[in-house]
Amino acid sequence: MKYLCLVYLEGQKLRAVPDRECMACGDGLRQSGVLVAAQALQPIETAATVRVRQGKVSVTDGPFAETKEQLAGFYLIEARDLNDAIQIAAKIPPARKGSIEVRPIRELDPI
Amino acid sequence: MAPAEPNKPIRDTINAVYESDSRRVLATLIRLLGDFDAAEEALHDAFRAALEQWPKEGVPSNPRAWLVSAGRFKAIDAMRRRSRFDALDDVGEAADKAVEDPALWDEEAVEDDRLRLIFTCCHPALAPDAQVALTLREVCGLTTEEIARAYLMPAPTLAQRIVRAKSKIRDAQIPYQVPTQTELPERLDAVLRVIYLVFNEGYSASSGAVVTRHDLSGEAIRLGRLLVELLPEPEARGLLALMLLHESRRAARMSPSGELILLDEQDRSLWDRAQIAEGARLVEQALSSGRFGPYSIQAAIAAIHAEAPSADATDWAEVVGLYDILLQSDVSPVIELNRAVAVAMRDGPAAGLAIVEAILKRGDLKDYRLAHAARAELCRRLGRMAEAREAFERALALTRQEPERRFLERRIAEVSGNPV
């Protein structure tokens, strides 16, 4: 069974835990064979929301999922830039019914 | 005679180059340096260098290329100085290589840079108010203070908005690109929306009393022209036409004392004929393309008004027909309201009032001042003064614009039978 562990932090506490500590945690879990993938995210202000309605792609700024929408899954993708990521996100089927939040990954800083 | 006098013609030349080319140079520097802040700094450094060197060495044969090159050198210098301890030399090398590429200087690449800049500033992943601020700052070259004054907000708030937008461009990697054909329709919509927002801010807020505000309508029309020049899409033409046709009525919209004058009461001899002619020509081009959208249709409606000798002599059937087409692509209660007003002109106030009341009953526009004002006006024409008064008062409670407030107060006095 696979589990997704979601990390929540207040905006001003995003860097409260040193990156180096998180990297060590990731390394440890990887060595013990339990880690599939882990990434830090850029702050919420960097998000864009993609929806497809009647075949038309719409992009809005920010994480604008409806309050009744819940996190239903995730795709970790490799894209050239945000435009490329938006094009890919628009192909994810639930984009037609709900919304896909596109949030850039933040690379951890070992220093 | 002051010793600096011999340099004056060159300083004038530099000022003229700044006027005509600083945005082009900036757009190219952003591409070369991959960063808005670095490019802005480089632009200033380049003009500072021009002020020092051109008086001594003469004006270069291609001032724009000289400025891009000078700006790039200064930026690489600054990057090297900042990264003394890092191995960032490859950044400089990449930029070195780029500038030697002759393709860099061809007209098309440079014109593309201006489009790249527009599309990046109006990227839908940026908040709408950030898109507006960034476009006015980077594409139009307004200062942060000018934009803040125009939007009646504190300069630090606006500066913060621009800083956040630039960090989002960097952190989310919004590319410096003209959209591909598949993305173009949606992305162009976003650009048109920004331009129209700027226009409306300037158009509806013009009270005549506030002279310090930057002329946002004029800025929006300049932007519209630039877009048509760079990307002659039908809807870009349609939007430019719409703005010109609205702008043509500016002198007639206000009395000398700053009182609002409605379309049917305006002195049509004050309308700007040159703007109307240009607007009408653009509408025709847009419509004949067969690929027009809502801006072109609204412009077509504005053109019918602009070319009519009076409100009564307006082809209201045609206006209603165009609103019908508009509603097919864009179901919006505000458009339904405008259509209702046109129906009232075509078929009489009772027919229009029935539609307005149906819209209000749905609750869609219950807080929209113009819906209540339209209902009031139609009741007034039907002689239903008590209802008219109540609706004018409702509109008055919802308006925030001073000239509108005075207009509504005048109407309330009229329908109450009081002397104006």
- pTM value? 0.86
* Ranges of each domain in chain A: 11-106
Please tell me the distance in Å from B383's CA to the nearest CA on chain A.
Answer: 46
Interface of A with B in 25-54 (CB under 8 A): 42-43, 45-48
Q: What is the CA radius of gyration of chain A?
A: 16
Lowest-pLDDT choice from A61-70, B7-16, B42-51, B238-247: A61-70
Who among B167, B168, B175 is closest to A83 (CB)?
A: B175
Query: Which chain B residues contact residue A62 at CB under 8 A?
Result: 127
Length of chain A in terms of residues written: 111
CA B95 to chain centre: 34
Q: What is the pLDDT of residues B358-380, one digit of tens each?
A: 999 999 899 999 999 999 999 99
Mean pLDDT of B126-138: 95
Q: What is the pLDDT of residues B20-70, one digit of tens each?
A: 999 999 999 999 999 999 999 999 999 999 999 999 999 999 999 999 999
**Higher-pLDDT residue of B214, B376:** B376
Residue position matching structure tokens 């807080």? B367
Measuring CA to CA, which residue among B354, B262, B340 is closest to residue B305? Answer: B262
Partner-chain contact B186 A60, CB within 8 Å? no
pLDDT at B110: 72
Report yes or no: B268 and B249 within 8 Å, Cβ to Cβ.
no
Please tell me the distance in Å from B35's CA to the nearest CA on chain A.
Answer: 15
Q: Which chain B residues touch A if contact means CB-CB below 8 Å?
A: 123-128, 130, 164, 167-168, 171-175, 177, 179, 182-183, 186
Q: Which residues contact B67 (CB under 8 A, 6 or more apart)?
A: B17, B21, B25, B43, B46, B47, B50
Residue of chain A minimizing CA distance to B125: A61
Quickly state the pLDDT bin for B1 (edges 50, 70, 90).
Answer: very low
Count of CB contacts below 8 A, A vs B?
54
Who among B124, B167, B179 is closest to A61 (CB)?
A: B124
Q: What is the pLDDT of residues A11-42, one digit of tens each?
A: 888 888 999 999 999 999 999 999 999 999 99
Pairing of strands A48-53, A100-102: antiparallel
**Higher-pLDDT residue of A44, B96:** A44
Report yes or no: A71 and A6 within 8 Å, Cβ to Cβ.
yes
Partner-chain contact A62 B130, CB within 8 Å? no
Residue B100 has pLDDT above 70, yes or no: no
In one letter, which amino acid is B215? D
Residue of chain B minimizing CA distance to A48: B125
ipTM at complex level? 0.86
Residue position matching structure tokens 């229009």? B352
Sheet hosting strand A56-61, strand order edge to edge: A56-61, A48-53, A100-102
Q: How many CB atoms lie within 10 A of CB B14?
A: 19
pLDDT at B93: 56
Q: What is the largest CA-CA distance in chain A?
A: 48
Please tell me the distance in Å from A63's CA to the nearest CA on chain B.
Answer: 10
In one letter, which amino acid is B137? R
Partner-chain contact A59 B168, CB within 8 Å? no
